[in-house]
A and B are shown apart, each in its own frame.
Chain A
């Protein structure tokens, strides 16, 4: 199961950024809504959002990460504890009093072999197994640092992305390894994310781009911004868009890099890069909190809404200045189609997304959104 979250730091940093689209960014009108529907999209389109907040039982309005586990239960990492949504739709919170190492949960990953959850928090790493938490901190274990931004379980090893390097905990041997600037190609040890690849692990590194690690060989390979400039994209489609990596995600041979300066896509089989920045591409914002990969599709969480793309076609969900939900569809060679939605994201500041073929869950800085998919005709029928 892939991990996904948005670093709390990013969330706090961007909280003051635009919570809705700038005036006049998009305009939806009746003519748009009445337009005949073109060819199907290569990914599901959201028909409506169902939103949840503190009034619905969430322990905090800040949702940092979301994961639907293999048993179907929905897990949320919030600013005030770990939260699970039961079959009855009610939310139950777990906090330090239950054994969680810290209430601020930044990332969640599931061990596919055992179903155990590994929970990254602002003070340590917790394992939830059989209803019981076990915690690992930098003082009582080999965890590099207590602030754990990202966590992933890869082939029996738990990876923890921390400001002091990436920690790798071998579950069977109960031993830790630390990868940082001393033994891996990183400018500095600050790591934000881990993504399991095919036989390799991708580490999203602050100022270090992406580090690919092959655990079998013990080898490393760094993917760095070829122009070395994070403000300007001088050499598009030639490498990571920036070295400031805020998140990485991988599925089906495609690696996605989220940064504060745009989005990158790396086809690991073709060894080709694509990059996107706002204004020049459909990407709604350069400030990307996280990215979730499913097949060849990326679900991108930004400070101005969420994008879904396979690299050519885009669907962007945002909130306009009146607080109304919008969706904009960008097809290759076509003009953007902007439609008003009957419902909207809980907030435009999206921190993380989880999706499958049937539904999607959006973690935002002001609540949780459940996306209900529908065919495009149904979406067009919405007023």
Chain B
């Protein structure tokens, strides 16, 4: 073959290939424009709608499980520790003298919160992954009973009341609290809590129980959020009080202070309505302690110091003599020791105005913080021995429990549960996620806004100019795999991009996370499974008639009267299964005067029932409000033909995703 012929043949091939490509491209683009109902759609890829399988996502695949310690319970004689290992579906029994694990018990359902009865004969285990409380006989660690409670119970406390024994169980996923009787084991009542009730403490010898609600609630945009402390009578199941921790969230630790009548909450003072550019001024988050006194007064005081932060305060315990409190700070790997007598003296001598502003005064903590005890990675749950001489610290990401002498505040040793998962990139990524070292002065971590990878329910002022209120609702990271691009404007194609240098400049205000750690962080994030919103008892069961009706509405192509719904205005077009997003920018008529563009990233709907408030700025406090208040000209799907019953059904369906 001559060179000329070869060149001619090559040209033919190129032309043919170009023709095929052009024809294919034209066909594909025409197809895309038809199927999205967007005649002006720019070039996009087939994967926005096709080649996506939820079953192939990272969080669907097997992953290593670790001996991450959760709740700790100490026997009345102080000799035995019980440690919940939620990731392994096990409860460990350890000897407090030898610090050795003696026995393991298998407890399905992600055992997380623990409590013992007064004699230490029964161990109660809150299992958030199966919405139940298991009862174990401590003689052989055999499960002898189980009872279903609300969604995702994260703690359990035992108390003796005038009407008998009670268990109080905060159900973090259903925003309520189960009150159980033990003879027989039954649910006496389920009372409404704040948002995400997380931990409980027994007060006054069982006359009251206080429950910390981790997430804040806020009724309207541009109003300060508040976390609730729900105080109830476990005997009568009556809610006695709902204390408000103003501007607080991540209030996931709670302790009663003997002799003082105080309830202590670990908390984060969040200033989400302040422009995020103020991060560098320490104005977005501060870690603190809320003291609720018997008269109902609540005072917030800082745990941070000027230019030194101890973020993500979590577990908290008070000594039996009421003189000291210990607070685990997961973001900085320390336990802060608070002298409660000194704190009490300051409270007694302070004015109301001083107490109101106390959380803002970083110089104040030196008056009552007497020590910072270094720990392993991500200290979360704490427990004290009955005599108060030993402090046990669950080092969650090191698979160990640190034992501290409370007199000397020196470590006595560790109960080693696992190897820490150093070879597991997911675990490494979780360490990046929980550590605050990557933010300005270590002021906060990823977890500060995304507890357990989820959402904190707040909208933050991300106005780059630092002067306006351009709110953007926080978005859950659970089930985020495969939903790129990220950010409400859809500009970040990967998690590495999302959490990379630009993010460091805008939010973290410090050096970017190094690339290896950034990759580990992304690995952790894509392995976060979606948040389960359905009760465990309904998982795997078919949809209810209402949910079926809602599903039909979601996938409707015609109105009730038979009129076709334009393809671009069908729910399923933009919120396309399996992730319920086509990963394109959509305009649904929600642009506010301060939004630079009318289009926003189409959010996925997996776990949507638990991620409110809704819309890009969090203006819709419920799913219903998306269509009853903030729908304009049927731009967010054709909803004008829906009846109230149909809207209710649609919401019920959405809550199953």
Q: Do A and B bind each other?
A: yes
**A219 to B228 CA separation, bound complex (whole angstroms):** 40
Given contacts A114-B237, A115-B237, A115-B238, contact A140 B150 (CB under 8 A): no
Given contacts A127-B192, A130-B239, A175-B652, contact A140 B621 (CB under 8 A): yes
Per-residue contact bits, chain B 221-263, to A (CB 8 Å; 1 contact, 0 not)? 0000000101110001111111000000000000000000000
A142 close to chain B: CB less than 8 A: yes
Per-residue contact bits, chain A 170-204, to B (CB 8 Å; 1 contact, 0 not)? 01111111101011000000000000000000000
Beta-carbon contact of B628 and A140 below 8 Å: yes
Q: Which B residues, 123 to 168, have Cβ-Cβ distances below 8 Å to chain A?
A: 150
* Chain B binder among A25-33, A89-97, A131-139, A348-356: A131-139
Beta-carbon contact of B648 and A134 below 8 Å: no
A contact residues, total (Cβ < 8 Å):
30
Secondary structure of the A contact surface, majority rule = loop
**A160 to B241 CA separation, bound complex (whole angstroms):** 25
Chain A hits for B628, CB < 8 A: 138-140
Q: Kindly state the interface size class of chain B when it binds its partner.
A: 35 or more
Chain B hits for A183, CB < 8 A: 645
B347 close to chain A: CB less than 8 A: no
Beta-carbon contact of A138 and B644 below 8 Å: yes
Chain A hits for B188, CB < 8 A: 113
B189 close to chain A: CB less than 8 A: yes
Secondary structure of the B contact surface, majority rule = mixed
Beta-carbon contact of B191 and A129 below 8 Å: yes
**A382 to B239 CA separation, bound complex (whole angstroms):** 45
B543 close to chain A: CB less than 8 A: no
Chain A hits for B647, CB < 8 A: 142
Chain B hits for A131, CB < 8 A: 241-242
B319 close to chain A: CB less than 8 A: no
Chain A hits for B189, CB < 8 A: 113-114
B1 close to chain A: CB less than 8 A: no
Q: Which B residues, 622 to 637, have Cβ-Cβ distances below 8 Å to chain A?
A: 622, 624-625, 628-629
Which residue of chain B is the closest to A112 with respect to CB atoms? B189
**A6 to B355 CA separation, bound complex (whole angstroms):** 47
Beta-carbon contact of A71 and B242 below 8 Å: no
B174 close to chain A: CB less than 8 A: yes
Given contacts A129-B239, A130-B240, A172-B174, contact A140 B625 (CB under 8 A): yes
Given contacts A139-B624, A172-B174, contact A164 B239 (CB under 8 A): no
Beta-carbon contact of B645 and A182 below 8 Å: yes
Chain B hits for A177, CB < 8 A: 546, 648
Given contacts A116-B192, A171-B190, A178-B644, contact A130 B231 (CB under 8 A): yes
How many Å from the CB of A63 to the closest CB on chain B?
26
B176 close to chain A: CB less than 8 A: yes
A124 close to chain B: CB less than 8 A: no
Q: Which B residues, 523 to 564, have Cβ-Cβ distances below 8 Å to chain A?
A: 535, 546
A141 close to chain B: CB less than 8 A: yes
How many Å from the CB of B615 to the closest CB on chain A?
13
Chain A hits for B232, CB < 8 A: 130
B651 close to chain A: CB less than 8 A: yes
Chain B hits for A178, CB < 8 A: 644-645, 648
How many Å from the CB of B238 to the closest CB on chain A?
4
Chain B hits for A138, CB < 8 A: 628, 644
How many Å from the CB of A188 to the closest CB on chain B?
15
Chain B hits for A172, CB < 8 A: 150, 174, 176, 190
Which residue of chain B is the closest to A143 with respect to CB atoms? B644
Beta-carbon contact of A129 and B242 below 8 Å: yes
Beta-carbon contact of A114 and B150 below 8 Å: no
Beta-carbon contact of B644 and A114 below 8 Å: no
Which residue of chain B is the closest to A174 with respect to CB atoms? B174
How many Å from the CB of B78 to the closest CB on chain A?
35
Q: Choose among A114, A142, A164, A174 the residue that contacts B191 (Cβ–Cβ < 8 A).
A: A114
Per-residue contact bits, chain A 327-360, to B (CB 8 Å; 1 contact, 0 not)? 0000000000000000000000000000000000
Beta-carbon contact of A116 and B624 below 8 Å: no
Beta-carbon contact of B622 and A129 below 8 Å: no
A144 close to chain B: CB less than 8 A: yes
How many Å from the CB of B84 to the closest CB on chain A?
25
**A138 to B625 CA separation, bound complex (whole angstroms):** 9
Query: Would you give 15 A-B contacts (Cβ < 8 Å), ordered by A?
Result: A114-B189, A114-B237, A115-B237, A116-B192, A127-B192, A129-B191, A130-B242, A139-B624, A140-B628, A142-B644, A172-B174, A177-B648, A178-B648, A180-B645, A182-B645
If A175-B546, A177-B648 are given as contacts, then 7 extra A-B residue pairs at C-beta distance below 8 Å, sorted by A number, are A113-B188, A115-B238, A132-B228, A138-B644, A140-B624, A141-B624, A142-B647
Smallest CB-CB A-B distances: 7 pairs: A130-B239, A139-B628, A130-B242, A142-B648, A115-B238, A132-B242, A113-B189
- B positions within 8 Å CB-CB of A: 150, 174-176, 188-192, 228, 230-232, 236-242, 535, 546, 621-622, 624-625, 628-629, 643-645, 647-648, 651-652, 655
